[in-house]
Structure 1
Amino acid sequence: MRPHIVALAAVLAFIPLHARAEQADCGAPATLEDGWTIAKPDEMGLDGARLCAIAERLRATNANVHGVVIVRGGKLVFEQYFAGFDEPWGRDAGRYEFDATTLHDMRSVTKSVISLLLGIALDRKLIASLDEPVTKYFPEYSDVKSAGWDRITLRHLLKMSSGLQWDENLPWNDKNDEWHLVYDADPLRYVFQKPFVFEPGTFFTYNGGGTDLLGKVIEKALGTRIDSFANEVLFKPLGITEWQLKDYRNGKTAMASGLRLRPRDAAKIGQLVLAKGEWQGRRIVSAEWIAESIKPRLQATNMFGGLFYYGHQWWIGRTLVNDREVRWVAGVGLGGQRLIIVPEHDLVVMVTQGLYSNGRQGQATHDLLANFILPAVRVENAR
């Protein structure tokens, strides 16, 4: 028997059949009048009893997961929260309680939101084209930019293929390029001074500096702060009233990683992508932009062992379930923040976690997807 099946059987066996029936309401979402229609898993073609085993699995694996939110068919069907260690942006590390109203760091899921905002700006003709040169928006750095910058377009930054020398995997000090985004008085100057080591458009290199540049391009094109734009064109239309976009230690807006949302509000972002740019019948971003954003562009060869592809600030991957691959799209953030969109099954999953310096971060999401959530989809209801 396969190891993941053995593990699942052990968890399910731990819960007697009569007890599973008593847990029918486990994970029942809170009623917050925030725009979500709430339904039971079984009403939306999900095996509720199987989802009820999630909490025990998380306890057994000590995954430090803080929240699990599941949406099926555009309805919120499952929501569970757990106390655990966290390192919230700007607050002391320690043990925190979480519930449906608690904001949580999204970390680099922020990058996927920047992609949506860029798409909205393009839809509104506020930015002409992805093929515009980045330097058009930053004449103030013309005296320091390294050779090669004039060839770099917004498209290169969007799919992280600028060819810039950049490494966020080094120890957290001034050798790690992300460190300079956090601490340098002028982090964009640091980005423009970096040399190029690859031909633009050829290789994926994870680069938060490029996302910060994209966010600044949006601000310059609009003549307003990105948080004001985000609130007007994205968050308010989605009914998201509580959110934060934090600053780095240097006081600059953390456009690559500073977003804080309630997990059920983050799931709205996923539902927006799943519905090809619409939220409850309202068009927020064009279907064309969504399609272009989640199309695989490059093999992410230097991240996660090369298992994933990269689109326009979105990850594309797959999970093996019952001998069949199921494709998904994801926003991925440090610590285990995972926003998963599964078009084939009309499904959105948001998981928050607190393993910021742990190599196991994110593993819990893939375990839950493969062994609990995707197997819970009833075949007759699957798309």
Structure 2
Amino acid sequence: MARLLMSVVVLATLALAVPSRARDEKGCGTPADIGDGWSLATPGETGIDAARLCDLDGLLAQWPDANVHAVIVARHGKLVMERYYAGADERWGAKLGVVQFGPEVKHDLRSISKSVTSLLIGIALAEGRFPALESPVLDFFPEHADLRTPEKDRITFADLLTMSSGLQWDEDRSYDDPRNDEMGMLTSGDPFRYILAKPLAASPGTTYLYSNGDASLLGAALVRGTGHTWSDYARDKLFTPLGIVDFDWDAVGRSRKLGPYGSLRLRPRDVAKLGQFVLADGVWNGRHILPTGWAAQSIAPRLNGEGLFFYGYQWWLGRSFVDGRELRWAAGFGVGGQRLFVVPSLELVVSLSLGQYGGRLQGIVPTAILNKIVLPSVKGEPR
């Protein structure tokens, strides 16, 4: 994952691509009214240059194997564009063949699931059903007390949220390499012991290291604290209030205790809802669902992340330079090219779904769509 994300920065300006087959080759992706709570608008009504936004297919024509599945754009709380394509897809690594995507077809989020888990943690904290962020992680896993050391006792839940537990972790290897820690965790009968047994490679809270292990400990604490599966808790506390009625959030791995770090499936326009929800400080259609301030806390920079990125509470923080202006954004990233961009200064949300699992374009194409099509189409100065 780490090497793939670095390629985003290095290769985003290279790329040449034909899009997957579009549903409407001549249209600009007028959103469908499916009664899911979205307010709809034209690009012009929200200060977006439709001509520039509608050149999406022109950009994608550079990449014959882009395998873009969905592009969703919302501004000022209104859905203004949804484009769908057909392309080969997967569900948690299982081949699905060619799928024709549309407003009611779900897609893997992969590691954007982590950002959603962070939202759930905010809700659970407000309910008193998640440990205090500065409390020691090992206090919540007493069955693994034999793994405690003075150094490991310093690992907090805030460290897990920022991927800075300090625990040694390596998932940049191929999945058939026995040293790949994600696979070690997935094949373990006790994945949380597998994670906590890793030696410390850095002092907790000081050094970012991408770790599905850290994210999985957060998921375990959420389940223990709430007394519900992550799927049930998400349904009751987040998805139902947002009008998200169709989702899958599978239990994966040998133990069937993993999933919050990467197995969520949603409709792409529901992914965009989550972005709008963050943009509005946890409010959807007038209803406050997140505790006040949690969204802002989550997307505030907490640590130097990978490459040029900062990192928040399971959110990536970056910036784009477009038409002479610097635009800062927060994002959920998922392998295969899954992206959820939130641009607060423009009140803009962009959700991208691709099928570039392990592909060389998984960082290039989403970055190009954001920087070459969507951001330049937004008129007016950022606030």
Are 1:147 and 1:195, in contact at CA under 8 Å, matched by a contact in 2?
no
Which residue of structure 1 aligns with residue 81 of structure 2?
A: 78
Where 2:349 maps in the other structure, the secondary structure is: strand
Are 2:335 and 2:357, in contact at CA under 8 Å, matched by a contact in 1?
yes
Q: Matches of residues 234-273 of structure 1 in structure 2 within 5 Å?
A: 234-250=238-254, 251-273=256-278
Are 1:145 and 1:193, in contact at CA under 8 Å, matched by a contact in 2?
no
Which residue of structure 1 aligns with residue 301 of structure 2?
A: 296
Distance 1:125 1:352 in 2: 34
Q: Could you tell me which of 13, 31, 47 is aligned with 1:29?
A: 31
Where 2:108 maps in the other structure, the secondary structure is: strand
Q: Matches of residues 33-112 of structure 1 in structure 2 within 5 Å?
A: 33-62=35-64, 63-89=66-92, 91-112=94-115
1:289-313 alpha-carbon deviations (Å, 9 max, x no partner): 112111111111xx3xx12110010
Distance 2:129 2:91 in 1: 34
1:277 lines up with 2:282 in the alignment: yes
CA shift, 1:51, in A, is: 1.4
Q: How large is the Cα RMSD of the aligned pairs? A: 2.1
Where 1:77 maps in the other structure, the secondary structure is: strand
Distance 2:171 2:14 in 1: 37
Distance 1:181 1:53 in 2: 43
Which residue of structure 2 aligns with residue 347 of structure 1?
A: 348
Which residue of structure 1 aligns with residue 7 of structure 2?
A: none
Are 2:13 and 2:368, in contact at CA under 8 Å, matched by a contact in 1?
no
Q: How many residues align?
A: 362
Where 1:142 maps in the other structure, the secondary structure is: helix
Are 1:181 and 1:248, in contact at CA under 8 Å, matched by a contact in 2?
no
1:215-241 alpha-carbon deviations (Å, 9 max, x no partner): 111111122222111111100010000
CA shift, 1:165, in A, is: 0.4
Identity %: 46
- Give, as a single letter, the amino acid of the residue that structure 1 aligns with 2:355: G
Are 2:73 and 2:349, in contact at CA under 8 Å, matched by a contact in 1?
yes
TM-score, normalised by the number of residues in structure 1: 0.90
1:187 lines up with 2:188 in the alignment: no
1:128-181 alpha-carbon deviations (Å, 9 max, x no partner): 510111112111112345663211110110101111101121111321111123
CA shift, 1:7, in A, is: 10
What runs of 5+ residues in structure 2 fail to find an aligned partner? Answer: 1-11, 19-24
What runs of 5+ residues in structure 1 fail to find an aligned partner? Answer: 12-21
Which residue of structure 2 aligns with residue 167 of structure 1?
A: 170
Where 2:244 maps in the other structure, the secondary structure is: coil
- Give, as a single letter, the amino acid of the residue that structure 2 aligns with 1:274: L
1:207 lines up with 2:220 in the alignment: no
TM-score, normalised by the number of residues in structure 2: 0.90
1:229-268 alpha-carbon deviations (Å, 9 max, x no partner): 1111100010000001112231223110010000000111
